[in-house]
Amino acid sequence: MRPDNKKIPIKWFLFAAFVGLSTVFILLLWLFQVFFLPAFYDGLMQVRAGNAAEELLVASAEEDFTEKVQEIGEREHFCVNVYTVTDKVATQVQSTHMGHACFLHRMGTEEITRLYESAISNGGEYHERMKKDEDTRLLTIHAEYNANGEQIVIFLDNAVEPVVATTEILRVELRAISVFMLLLSAVLSFILADYISHPIERVNKQAKMLAEGKYEAEDSTVNYREIVELSDTLANAADELSRVDRLQKELVANISHDLRTPLTMIVGYGEVMRDIKEENTPENMQVLIDEALRLSSFVDDLLELSKIQSGSREKKEEIFSFNDEIEQIVTRYRHLKEHDGFTFSYEADEGESLVSADKGMIWQIACNLLNNAVHYSGESREIAVKCKLLNGEVRFEVRDYGIGIAEEELPHIWERYYRAKQNHRRTVRGSGLGLFIVRELLELHNARYGVSSRLGEGTLFWFALPLVLPPDAE
């Protein structure tokens, strides 16, 4: 496991992220309110002054120019000076004075000329923020020809102190707000981070417990969909793990038991037959053979399982008559089992039953299903095999009238190591691998398969393979 002390816990990460975010917003607020406000304000004032100058220029060609100058000056709180320039000589034609702080009426000719020249070199309009003593003013100079062809120079002067005062007030206010907001955001971030991270921490804790083999899903009021899903997945994984763990333990117990019992029998019978001549009978010999066969089939299952698990089982593609093979298998079972009182019926639909499959695997599947039918057929000892031709498929069915399988166990019987509860008797040979192997082999063939069963009434296993045309049919 990676050392977790190198990574910060999600709670503190979220906390830092929230506080960081609030800090960025506060900084943006400062930037806009304090640093950009004068620039915004100046821009706005310049546009207003520019518009007023345009209006005055138009008015300068009209009769009521004097009234207009007065009106605009009052409306906008501008001090206005208007000059006409003829042969480089400027003559003041209009003037309004709106407040004593104005610079316009206190400027010398030199400064006026400088401002005029700046306007000319700037394409006719020039703005300057001017600071003298305590006062700051915005000066706008607009030099252009009016409709009468006269060159008109308009000087406007307006106060900008309010914005200086405003930014100062804002700065003080913002300082207090910023401190307050930072504290508040720290507290809220902490609560929020705790609230968000809590379910994640909880699931993490549960997952750690799962690794130790314990798992308890708990309900919580704070739950997001992903966490609920994750928690469910963990609960399922825990179920699955504990089940596999239990099955595996059972398997080890079963395997040792299943290996030991035949071995004990073989050794016991062998010793008796060695020491006592009369015990050397065909019946006793048969016991030895049966027990050895039992061992060998058990080892076969284990080998098959390991092949399947390592993925080294390769499927051959052979075209053969399915019904013929099944018939052979059934005949073989009849020979083997009839003297034990088993009856095997076999029915097959008329017609070609060609399939493309691995013959060896089909034998193994059918034999495993038949073995189960034999083992679990109870007192009836009656087994019915059918091969049906249906919708382009050949369907194999094996039915017994034995102990059956409980409904809640049906979904599990295909799992590895699974043995139904009622079957843990010594007389029933089984590793719980047979149906798992059947399922794996059927899935290699993309075959459909299924089971229906009722406790005490018997079981029907089936699988279906697609039919193929004979190779020379095309």
Residues of the shown chain interacting with ligand ADP in the complex, contacts defined by CB under 6 A: 372-373, 376, 400, 402-405, 413, 418-420, 423, 430-436, 459
Between residues 73 and 458, which has the closer beta carbon with respect to ligand ADP? 458
Burial class from Cβ neighbours inside 10 Å (0-12, 13-18, 19+) for residue 407 reads: exposed
Amino acid at 54: E
Between residues 88 and 426, which has the closer beta carbon with respect to ligand ADP? 426
Closest distance of CB 461 from ligand ADP, Å: 7
Closest distance of CB 467 from ligand ADP, Å: 26
Closest distance of CB 436 from ligand ADP, Å: 6
Pairing of strands 125-132, 89-96: unpaired
Closest distance of CB 432 from ligand ADP, Å: 4
Strand partners for 152: 84, 144
Between residues 389 and 451, which has the closer beta carbon with respect to ligand ADP? 451
Between residues 73 and 432, which has the closer beta carbon with respect to ligand ADP? 432
Between residues 356 and 423, which has the closer beta carbon with respect to ligand ADP? 423
Closest distance of CB 277 from ligand ADP, Å: 38
Between residues 342 and 418, which has the closer beta carbon with respect to ligand ADP? 418
Closest distance of CB 259 from ligand ADP, Å: 14
Between residues 11 and 419, which has the closer beta carbon with respect to ligand ADP? 419
Closest distance of CB 228 from ligand ADP, Å: 34
Give the C-alpha separation, 117 to 176, whole Å. Answer: 46
Closest distance of CB 370 from ligand ADP, Å: 9
Nearest to 147 by CA among 51, 63, 50: 63
Between residues 215 and 462, which has the closer beta carbon with respect to ligand ADP? 462
Between residues 90 and 259, which has the closer beta carbon with respect to ligand ADP? 259
Closest distance of CB 314 from ligand ADP, Å: 23
